[in-house]
A and B are shown apart, each in its own frame.
Chain A
Amino acid sequence: MIDKALQNLRQSMRAIGRPVSLMEVCGTHTMAAFRAGLRTLLPADLQLLSGPGCPVCVTPSAYVDQAVELSLKPGIMIATFGDMVRVPGSRSSLEKSRAQGAEVLVVYSPLDALEAARRNPGRQVVFLGVGFETTAPAVAWSIKTAADEGIPNYLVYSAHKTMPPAMNALLQSGESKVDGFLCPGHVSVIIGSRAYGFIAEGFHVPCVVAGFEPLDMLQAIGMLLRQVEKGQAMVENQYRRSVAPEGNITAQKMLAEVFEPGDAAWRGLGMLPGSGLRIRERYAAHDARIAFSLAGPEMLSPEPPGCRCGDVLRGVCTPLECGLYQKDCTPAHPVGACMVSGEGTCAAYYKYEKQAGQQQ
């Protein structure tokens, strides 16, 4: 199957006869491609760009600053996915807060955060809501359950974002040259493959929803190249075992029950109208933004000097073109979020390109 997939995509590249750039939007795809060594198997004139699909990476430092400030207040327990703990804000990080005595609980699920609120009625447990459509329904459920069961000390600080507006912004800017999108597998489980129709129809850019195994990705790349070769642009679904055209309706309903679209700032992309998920007024009692008068997710913040995380997230440059990469910015001492997250493009380059360099 692998040989066949590789053979197909090499044939397509020959037929296309020019360099091709494809963007894998999802951070898990970025890591999977590196881990399996896919990049070394692909023809040299086929470039894989990483997109804005690493949740922690696209979260602006202003949000981290607000979370850090909140964590140092008495009676507060911050619950968060692990990646967020080490992300530098403009002055500090949650890791440093923790060293100063703040309670920062790393969780795998909002379920664990809700449980922490149940067990610690004397504290305000604030879950950092970071992630795309895949994660947000679970967080929506936790907010609804806190309201239904009367757990007043469970709050969420939402920086949740939705993927299609970011892909739209990338194409609108015309800055990054993308011949096709490998659409995120598990975002698509929720929103459905139909959600990308506006890209194929409006921008004439091919889209293929891809699974996470290397063979899935190779097949999806082959499907994209075939569209490029034929001058077509449509939405195809390589990941049929998980993704339906209409998505997961039950999860969409849960999302809509608790969240509504709001403006949100993205690292690298700036403020994108309607790209965020804001907690609805009926759940305001569980909205940390209101309870603690925190800045909204639309607040923009400057990048650290020299950091090109934003350019990397737009596919404008690779980490190798950033002056800080590997010198001042490493996983042990990260400057930008793209070097921190397990799904960050800079972290992936550091881990795998370095290995490749050592082998040469």
Chain B
Amino acid sequence: MCLAIPARIVDLRGKQAVVDVDGVQRSIQTDLLTGLQVGDYVIVHAGFAIQKWSEQDVAEYRAIMEEMERLDQGLAPEGTDD
């Protein structure tokens, strides 16, 4: 299952990092990326960071999630916005 939630690096020692996702922290490996720093956002799969997100990417994700909340509160069914 692919989890597409950005995880923020809060600690980095060698290739081992601790990331924070909505207040939950876990240890991951960063061997599949280069040039990471504390504060960077990454996508984690099977315990490994597989991609880094820029600030802009995180902002795009947040905008999408806000839109989704609107969807959860009830979206117009098909036909009404034609």
Contact = CB atoms under 8 A, between A and B. Distances in A.
Partners in one complex: yes
Nearest to B44: A109
B1 A141 contact: no
Interface in A210-234: 211-216
Given A141-B48, A190-B50, A342-B1, A6 B64 contact: no
Nearest to B41: A241
B63 to A, nearest CB: 8
Q: What's the interface size class on B, roughly?
A: 20 to 34
Contacts, number: 113
Contact of A251 (B1, B4, B32, B82): B32
Contact of A2 (B61, B65, B71): B71
B21 interface: no
A211 B2 CA distance: 10
B13 interface: no
A41 B77 contact: yes
B46 A251 contact: no
A186 interface: yes
Q: Is the interface of A mostly helix, strand, loop or mixed?
A: helix
Q: What's the interface size class on A, roughly?
A: 35 or more
A216 B64 contact: yes
B67 to A, nearest CB: 5
Nearest to A81: B46
Given A1-B67, A3-B76, A134 B2 contact: yes
A352 to B, nearest CB: 16
B75 interface: yes
Contacts of B47: 108-112, 138
B2 A248 contact: no
A273 interface: no
B4 A242 contact: yes
Given A212-B4, A251-B50, A7 B82 contact: yes
A276 B67 CA distance: 39
B48 to A, nearest CB: 4
Interface string A254-286: 100000000000000000000000000000000
A28 interface: yes
Given A31-B1, A138-B45, A141-B29, 13 more contacts: A6-B81, A108-B47, A109-B46, A111-B29, A138-B29, A139-B46, A184-B2, A185-B4, A186-B45, A242-B43, A248-B50, A250-B33, A254-B31
Q: What are the 9 closest A-B residue pairs judged by CB atoms, nearest first? A: A109-B47, A241-B57, A212-B4, A28-B2, A186-B2, A251-B32, A111-B47, A138-B46, A138-B48
Interface of A: 1-3, 6-7, 10, 26-28, 31, 36, 41-43, 108-112, 131, 134-135, 137-139, 141, 184-186, 189-190, 211-216, 241-243, 248, 250-251, 254, 342-343
30 contacts: A1-B63, A1-B67, A2-B70, A2-B71, A3-B75, A3-B76, A6-B78, A10-B78, A26-B2, A28-B1, A41-B77, A43-B78, A109-B46, A110-B46, A110-B47, A134-B2, A134-B50, A135-B45, A137-B50, A138-B32, A141-B31, A141-B32, A189-B50, A213-B68, A215-B67, A242-B4, A242-B53, A242-B57, A248-B51, A250-B31
